[in-house]
Amino acid sequence: MVNSDGKVFDAQYRAGSEGNIGTAWGGVLSQWGTQYIAQNYREYNYYTILSYYYSFSDKSSGYIQTGNY
């Protein structure tokens, strides 16, 4: 996973709280939030979930990128 400039960034997470999705584009992934999204938004895949937290944050000025680098 890299930021919109193609650079690897320091991914961070916190536990959060059960049933709370966490902050969009906050730069910190929520453990409970990812579970909530996966269970309640079946159309979301891993990229959509990661992008929810890391894109347009202090980690990436645009959409993050995933794949082989």
* pLDDT digits 0-9 by tens, 22-39: 999 999 999 999 999 999
Residue 19, Ramachandran bin (φ over 0: left; ψ between -120 and 50: alpha; else beta)? left
pLDDT range class, residue 69, cuts 50, 70, 90: low
CA distance 26 to 28: 6
The yes-or-no verdict on residue 11 having pLDDT over 90 is yes
**pTM for this entry:** 0.90
Provide the pLDDT for residue 27: 97
